Every structure is written in C-alpha cells, then in structure tokens.
Structure 1
Amino acid sequence: MSAADEDGFLLRPFKLIALLCAFIALALDVAALLSPAWVTSESYSRSLWVSCIQARDGVWECSSTLQTDWQIAALVLILTAATITLLSFLLSLTSFCLGIYKRYYRVVAILLFAAVVLHVCALILYPIKFIDSSMLMSYHEFNWGYGLGWGSAVFMLGAAILYCLRTDLYEDAYY
C-alpha cells in the first residue's frame, strides 16, 4: 500500500501540467512575435514587423509590414492572444500558489480557449492573405517563426483542455 492510499489522497498533477503548458505557450508566443523569419525565400524575409529584400549588391533593405490591414489584423490578433495567455497564466499561477484550486480554473480555461481561437484565426489569415498579395516570383516558405505560432496554439489548447478536467470530483471523496 502506498503513502497516497494510506492518506486517502491521490495526486493528479493535471493543473500543474496545464500551468506548464500555458507557460510554454506564452514563451513560444513571445518567440514567434519576435521572430525575424515568418516567410523566407532566397532573397526575401518577412516577420510580423518588417519585410526585408536583398538588393542586387547584397544589401538588405527593410521596410515596415504594418502598411496593410491584414498584416495589422494578424499582429493584433496574435498580440491579443498573447495578452490573454499571460493573464490566464498569472491567474492560474496565483490560484495554484494560494491553494484555491477550484475557484479560477474555469475562467482560465475559457480565457485560453478564447486565446486559441484568436491565435488560430491569425495563423490562418496570415498565409492566405500573404499568398493573395504576394508579388514574389521565387519560391518562398513559411519558416520557423510561423511554426512557433502554431506550437503556441497547440500548447494553449492543451492547457485549456487540462483546465477543463474535473479532478475535484475524485479528490473531494477522499476528504
């Protein structure tokens, strides 16, 4: 018989794993926002902030990408999702540290689901509008910055699902 069986308490670390997933989602989101490579080609690089083209003499010329409405919309959606993720991470960390487990987890799950929806909308909008408005005549690919955005969305979704699990039904019977 283990110590958990003797005390009548079985530790299920779903909320701790969800907190870790929210933190990883936040870190990936920040890395995606700061990434210089969302779309690249042989002589072209675009992030959420700047677009750089390599001239014939090998010098890179950069300009702001915040000139069209779809680029601003994608950036605002990702920044809003990152802000919501930060808020939900802080709320869940506070409730976890204070020991008030059941009070705020439903709110955190709803916030994370909203962040996932915003993030996925931005990640779908970006390639569609980029390809629609692209003047590139060369091969281009969506690079690691875009992939970090999808990784962030996956971890946000995982955290939201883990916060929805009702482990309190099993733990209350032992008190």
Structure 2
Amino acid sequence: MSVNEVYVFRPFKLIALLCVFLALGLDVVALLSPAWVTAERFSLSLWESCSQSEAAWSCFSTLSSDWQIATLVLLGAGAAATLLAFLVALISLCRGTQRRHYRTVAVLLFTAVVLQSCALVLYPIKFIDGTVLQTYHEFNWGYGLGWGATIFMLGGGILFCLRTDTYEDAIGLAQLLPEASRENETPAWRILLFSCLDTLSPAIEKS
C-alpha cells in the first residue's frame, strides 16, 4: 500500500507572510529615506538635516537630538521585531509547523506596530514643538512609508491571529479525495461543520 504525502495550501498565511515582507521592505526604505520633512531649501531625514545656502547644500547629523535618537531607536526596534517575525513565519510555513508559532509571530508584529506608532507620533510632535517654521514644511514620502509599513504589520498580525486552519484543512481534504470515491464522499461543508464543532466542543462542555 502506497503512502501519499499531502500538503495543504494555506493562502491566508501566505498573504500574511507577504504583508510582513512588504512591511519590512517599506520600513527599511523609510529608515534610509532622505526626505522625512522637506521645505524650500531644506530637507530633514532620520540621520541628517540639510539646508541650501546660495548654491551649495550643507548637512549635519541629527543624532545629537534626544527625540530624533528616540525616534530612530523605536523604528529600528520595530524593524527588528518585524524581521524576526518574518523569519519565524517563513521557517514555520516551510517546515509545516505553522500552528505552534502563529501566536508568537502575531505578538512580534503587534509589538512592532506599537513601537512604530510611538515613533511616528513622536516625530511630528517634537519637530513642530522645536522648530520655528519660517517657511512651509511638509512631511514627505519617508514619513508616509513609515505609516505604510505599520499598516502592513497590523494586517499581517491580524491574519496570523485568525484561526483559518480548520477551514483550509477541510477544503484541502475535500480537494484531495480520490476520484473513485467522489460519488460517496462527504461534502466539504459537512467536513467544515464537523471540524468547527470538534473545535468548539471543549468550550461548550466547560460552559
């Protein structure tokens, strides 16, 4: 008797992994962006502030300011947590040990969301508080990418929290039934219903 190996395709978790990858990419670009705040003859990033006098640009480091260092540390910690979550999720999906690590990945992503949000709220408040706005300033694409990364982190965390395993396993089992037994097979909705009842039965018994 031959033994067939079965692999169940999990689209929700792959979408979640894609969200984490996009969040990580956007976060790295935001960290390296030269344009967080721009104005006429002025540009401010997380690393340096540049201004133009006559024809030449002069730049100096912004790491002497406490709030800018705090912003950079918070964003870096959020990016590190996102990278760790991506690696754990990727290894889990490749090795087939998904369920035990879903919660860990979600916790890491929600932690990154909190860190990123704190940094992105702190940055404009402290900038406006400590800057005399002689000309019109605007928060540019670097700052926007930071929020974009945060949104993808939140989306990935929510998807990793959803218990879609029962549904995906039921659909995968229905698709993998032998052709010879199609006439006598159990419908997919019954498999899904029985799986849900089996999952909920311990909670019902306790109540």
Offset at 1:136? 3.2
Q: Which runs of 5+ in 1 are unaligned?
A: 1-8
Tell me the equivalent position of 2:165: 168
Give the TM-score normalised by structure 2.
0.77
Contact 2:88 2:101 in 1 (8 A): yes
Aligned residues: 166
Q: Does 1:27 align with 2:34?
A: no
Q: Secondary structure at the match of 2:73?
A: helix
Aligned partner of 1:65 among 58, 62, 67: 62
Q: Secondary structure at the match of 2:146?
A: helix
Offset at 1:11? 4.9
Contact 2:36 2:43 in 1 (8 A): yes
- Name the CA shift for 1:136/1:58 in 2 (closer, same or farther; >3 Å): farther
Q: Relative contact order (alpha carbons < 8 A, sep ≥ 6): 1 or 2 greater?
A: 1
Whole-Å Cα distance in 2 between the matches of residues 119 and 169 of structure 1? 33
Tell me the equivalent position of 2:203: none
Report percent identity of matched pairs: 65
Tell me the equivalent position of 1:135: 132
Tell me the equivalent position of 1:94: 91
Whole-Å Cα distance in 2 between the matches of residues 54 and 11 of structure 1? 55
Q: Secondary structure at the match of 1:60?
A: strand
Q: Secondary structure at the match of 1:71?
A: helix
Q: Secondary structure at the match of 1:66?
A: coil
Alignment root-mean-square deviation, CA: 1.6
Q: Does 1:116 align with 2:97?
A: no
Offset at 1:103? 1.3
Tell me the equivalent position of 1:75: 72
Letter in 1 for 2:97: I
Give the TM-score normalised by structure 1.
0.90
Q: Secondary structure at the match of 2:114?
A: helix
- Name the CA shift for 1:171/1:96 in 2 (closer, same or farther; >3 Å): same
